[in-house]
């Protein structure tokens, strides 16, 4: 269905990334015939292609890696399509978020890391003559609200093994994983909000979500109090 995806009231935000640096990611790029070591450049080209097609219905594109002609006509949108948020915490990712993207969507394991990253993004935006307000500071977190911590850890571990092929103890060194009482989860998320996050993307950390969306929504209620004066938005993701 042909829908207007302009940013004003857009029903869609695209969170994108170049791929976590790992042998599995490189193997996937090799299968696709793409250069793993230039994946950030390829991502930048791809998003610029999207924007060109959304803005003017461009039928040709010449980027650093992508050189395309005779593209099928695309419907132009009044404000260049939906916002693009970069999911990255590496130094080069922070610089790219500052220069090229509409939002920053990392998953750092603690609020101090988030604050340091956001400082780099805002400084990079100013260097690129962009207002920091043009970039939405978001946070991706995997959450499981439970009063039975041991059982919750088991559910989270099963989820991580099914999703990544790794135990939760390993994933927790890379991503923000929260399991436990609602108050404790709210405290951790509030620290990230105080560090600058203004949009939370919450993924339910179990294979059978059950009532988790409702319990997580309740846990988020006090978190919003720490977002003043800027509004806090939260979006949930369910495993399907």
Give pLDDT tens digits for 3-44: 444 455 557 899 999 998 889 899 999 999 999 999 999 999
Residue 233: which H helix or E strand, with range? strand 233-237
Q: By C-alpha distance, which of 99, 80, 76 is closest to 88?
A: 99
H-run or E-run covering 166: none
Residue 142 and residue 103: Cα distance in Å, rounded?
19
> Confidence class of residue 224 from pLDDT cuts 50, 70 and 90?
confident
Instruction: Count the alpha carbons within 13 Å of 181 in the hemisphere toward its beta carbon.
Output: 3
pLDDT beyond 90 at 78: no
The residue behind tokens 């829908």 is: 3
Q: Provide the mean pLDDT of the chain.
A: 89
């Amino acid at each position: 269905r042909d829908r207007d995806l302009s940013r004003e009231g857009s029903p869609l935000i695209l969170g994108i990334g170049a791929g976590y640096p790992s042998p599995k990611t490189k193997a996937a790029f090799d299968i696709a015939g793409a250069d793993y070591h230039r994946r950030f450049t390829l991502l930048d080209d791809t998003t610029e292609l999207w924007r060109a097609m959304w803005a003017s219905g461009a039928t040709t594109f010449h980027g650093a890696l992508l050189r395309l002609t005779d593209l099928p006509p695309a419907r132009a949108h009044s404000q260049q399509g939906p916002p693009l948020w970069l999911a990255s915490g590496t130094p080069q990712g922070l610089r790219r978020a500052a220069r090229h993207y509409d939002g920053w969507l990392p998953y750092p394991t603690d609020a101090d890391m988030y604050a340091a990253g956001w400082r780099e993004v805002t400084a990079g935006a100013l260097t690129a003559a962009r207002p920091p307000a043009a970039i939405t500071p978001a946070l991706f977190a995997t959450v499981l609200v439970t009063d039975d911590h041991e059982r919750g850890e088991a559910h989270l571990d099963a989820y991580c093994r099914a999703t990544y092929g790794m135990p939760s103890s390993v994933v927790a060194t890379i991503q923000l994983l929260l399991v436990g009482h609602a108050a404790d989860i709210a405290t951790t998320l509030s620290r990230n909000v105080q560090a600058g996050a203004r949009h939370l993307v919450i993924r339910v950390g179990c294979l059978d979500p059950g009532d988790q969306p409702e319990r997580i929504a309740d846990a988020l209620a006090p978190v919003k109090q720490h977002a003043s004066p800027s509004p806090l938005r939260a979006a949930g993701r369910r495993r399907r």
